[in-house]
Structure 1
Amino acid sequence: MLHIHNRTHRFLILLALGFSLCGAAQNDSITFLALGDSYTEGTSELRVNSWPFQLSSQLRKKKIPIKDPKVIALVGWTTSDLLEAVASENPKPNYDLVSLCIGVNNQFRGQSFEKFQQEFSELLEKSIRLAKGNPKNVIVLSIPDYSVTPYARFKDTPKIVKELEAYNRYIEKEANARNTSFIEITKISRNARVNPDMLTQDSLHPSKKMYKAWVKKISKEFKFQKP
């Protein structure tokens, strides 16, 4: 296994020996598919400041060849919306890296938790298939905690926290059961309570600074593997 963090020199040596990363052929760039909602789209931020684009940029700085991400995500999407979008776009199952971050709008709209469980599991299975059938090529992010944002100041924040914790427990359980990489970024999102610059001007969605902190954690915890 190759860690992105502090292992770039080893990665370059492997490339020189003719190895590939996540099944990508030598001299090819890693392909990246990002699935989700506003937190993946980077709502209210420039697209290049969203976490998928920041991750790609950071990896290129480490001399790891990766293409800009293909993003299937939109503000307000639930698991149902994402399933429909993936079915409509029908991406080929040949991505070297796939990320999944979804569920906040299920909770926000008060939808059935059981429906979320069923559809999230289906999306996770689709993510693995799209990642060439390799769960080690899949990153699953926890749902951020929007209860700390000014947007939620007149809402039932204890209820939001309790429900999102249930959602995230299920997400982590499913991710671990399928041997994908679960990245917990909820604690980072709570820094917005005391750092308003971690939010955009809409007082709800993460800013470039917040996404940068997510990318730092992803880069530290996600592992690449040689074939």
Structure 2
Amino acid sequence: MKQLTTTLIIFILLSCAKNDDYEYIFNTSDDNPIGEINDSIISILSLGDSYTIGQSVCETCRFPEQLKDSLIISVDSQDFDLKVIAQTGWTTTNLVNAINSENIDSNYDLVTLLIGVNNQYQHKEFSLYESEFPQLVQMAINAVNGDKDKLIVISIPDYAYTPFGQQDFYFDTISAEIDQYNTYAENYCNSQDITYVYITDITRLGVEQPELVASDGLHPSELAYSKFVERILPHALEKID
């Protein structure tokens, strides 16, 4: 797919619009230092990119926070802790390197993984995703003490159905390539008996339902993330039960 220089410049500017003051690794519990797990709480680890960090939405609006809040409501008398390793613009390579650089505890109760859009956007060879996605899945499994039943892989949103994506002459190609990534991830998860949650169709309503797109015209909105969580929550509840 032809790379448009102007589009890339706009994307970089949008990536800096909000949340650029966050460290790529953060923990929402003041009482629990990063990398340490308190046995009295349920600990969640979310791995990804801008879709995980919640570019251009509020801190409590991103899907990992909404998932944590929904779990708190659903599970009485239980404390939850959330750690996120994510940053806008990250490819699978960036995420692999970030995880390798951290001493991540192996006793998390739940882990989510959403990665790949920047491989597609940055025109990386698809073979790179085929190599590094399984590696990231194993890293995620290691974080839950080797229990793959505690992993949820989430499909890649489709930014072609945003005002930003609609400006790209090749928006049909974007969707086709996103499908290629998602099909690979889904098939891999199915072959390994790993939970895979498809949310891409929600983001493909972004043109007819602009409230699903954040103010930057590119990323999902708080409402879109809430719809992600509606699909993720039942699986998360089963995994922490």
SS at 1:34 equivalent: strand
The counterpart of 2:48, out of the listed 16, 23, 36, is 36
2:118 is matched with: 105
Q: Return the offset for 1:108.
A: 0.3
Provide, for residues 166-206 of structure 1, a one-character-per-residue CA deviation record: whole Å limited to 9, x for no partner.
10001101112222210000011112121111111100011
Is structure 2 residue 212 aligned with structure 1 residue 198?
Answer: yes
Matched, 1:51 2:67: no
Measured after TM superposition, the shift of residue 68 of structure 1 is 3.3
2:19 aligns to what?
none
2:82 aligned residue? 69
1:159 aligns with 2:194: no
Matched, 1:213 2:232: no
The answer to whether the 8 A contact 2:158-2:203 is kept is yes
Q: State the SS of the aligned residue for 2:42.
A: coil
Q: Helix, strand or coil for the counterpart of 2:205?
A: helix
How is 1:99-138 mapped onto 2 (pairs within 5 angstroms)?
Answer: 99-138=112-151
Instruction: Normalising by structure 1, report the TM-score.
Output: 0.85
Aligned equivalents of 1:69 and 1:207: distance in 2? 20
Percent identity (aligned)? 37
Task: Describe the superposition over 1:128-153 as per-residue Cα deviations: whole angstroms up to 9, x where unpaired.
Answer: 11111001100000000110100012
Give the Cα separation in 2 of the matches to 1:225 and 1:219: 10
Q: Which ranges in structure 2 are unaligned for 5 or more consecutive residues?
A: 1-36
* Aligned pairs for 1:173-184 within 5 A: 173-184=187-198
- Deviates most, 59-68 or 155-164: 59-68
Residue 220 of structure 1, CA deviation: 3.1
**SS at 1:164's partner residue?**
helix
Query: Once superposed, what is the RMSD of the aligned Cα atoms?
Result: 1.8
Corresponding position of 1:16: none
Cα offsets for 1:110-129 (capped at 9, x unmatched): 00000111011100011111
Change (3 A) 1:201 1:84: same
Determine the C-alpha separation between the residues in 2 that align with 1:41 and 1:51: 8
Report the CA distance between 1:221 and its aligned residue.
4.2
1:188 to 2:202 alignment: yes
Q: Would the alpha carbon gap of residues 67 and 101 (structure 1) be closer, same or farther in structure 2, given more than 3 Å must change?
A: same
Which deviates more from structure 2 when the two are superposed, residues 87-96 or residues 97-106?
87-96
Kept in 1: contact 2:41–2:81 (CA 8 A): no
When the two structures are superposed, what TM-score results if normalisation uses the length of structure 2? 0.80
